[in-house]
Every structure is written in structure tokens, then in C-alpha cells.
């Protein structure tokens, strides 16, 4: 089961998914972060708080999670920005 830890409602979605398997947040002991794009890990702190799980992340990306380095701007690449900017509001609507 995979789901970004930042999308709106992700904690609810994850909790329901675990319940459908007969599990709960207390069964989660490890969260594996495959990459530290802010739109994927923005809610990681809430997920860790809900689960008390440890986080595994590549050593080259740990500085993004602990705040010692800023997240790279995904829109610094003009081609990527042109492709993704139009769809972001529908994926991540403002609160």
C-alpha cells in the first residue's frame, strides 16, 4: 500500500486502508521515504505523530527532513513547471 504523506486527507485514507487490513496506526513501526519532495512528505510529521513510527530515508535526503536544507524548488526546471503547475491546484486544493 502506498500513498503520499502530504496529500489532503492522507491520514484518514491511510487509517481506513489499515483498518481494511485489520490493522491500525499502532501496527506501523517504520515509514520508508523514497524521496523528499515537499509535496510527498509535507504531512510526514503528522503521520509520525499518529504512528510513533521510525522514518527511513536516504542519507543524502535526510537534511531535507530535519530542516537543515531547504527542499529543492520543483519549479526551477521550466519544463517540469510548465507540465505540473496547471494540475497542482486540483491535486492539492487550498484549505
Q: Give tens-digit pLDDT for 29-80.
A: 999 988 887 767 878 888 899 999 999 999 988 888 888 888 777 677 788 7
Gyration radius (Cα) of the chain, Å: 15
State residue 25's pLDDT score. 95
4 lies in a domain?
Answer: no
**Mean pLDDT, residues 5-12:** 72
35 lies in a domain?
Answer: yes
The grid coordinates listed for 56 are 527511513
Q: How confident is the model at residue 18 (pLDDT cuts 50, 70, 90)?
A: very high
**Mean pLDDT, residues 8-12:** 76
Per the structure, the count of domains in the chain is 1
Domain region containing 34: 10-91
55 lies in a domain?
Answer: yes
Distance from C-alpha of 90 to C-alpha of 68, rounded to nearest angstrom? 30
Residue 27 has pLDDT above 90, yes or no: yes
Distance from C-alpha of 31 to C-alpha of 28, rounded to nearest angstrom? 8
1 lies in a domain?
Answer: no
5 lies in a domain?
Answer: no
Amino acid at each position: 500500500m502506498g500513498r503520499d504523506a502530504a496529500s489532503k486527507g492522507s491520514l484518514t485514507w491511510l487509517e481506513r486502508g489499515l483498518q481494511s487490513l485489520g490493522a491500525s496506526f499502532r501496527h506501523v513501526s517504520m515509514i520508508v521515504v523514497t524521496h523528499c519532495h515537499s509535496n510527498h512528505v509535507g504531512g510526514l510529521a503528522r503521520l509520525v505523530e499518529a504512528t510513533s513510527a521510525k522514518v527511513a530515508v536516504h542519507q543524502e535526503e535526510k537534511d531535507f527532513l530535519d530542516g537543515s536544507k531547504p527542499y529543492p524548488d520543483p519549479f526551477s526546471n521550466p519544463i517540469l513547471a510548465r507540465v505540473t503547475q496547471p494540475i497542482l491546484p486540483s491535486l492539492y486544493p487550498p484549505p
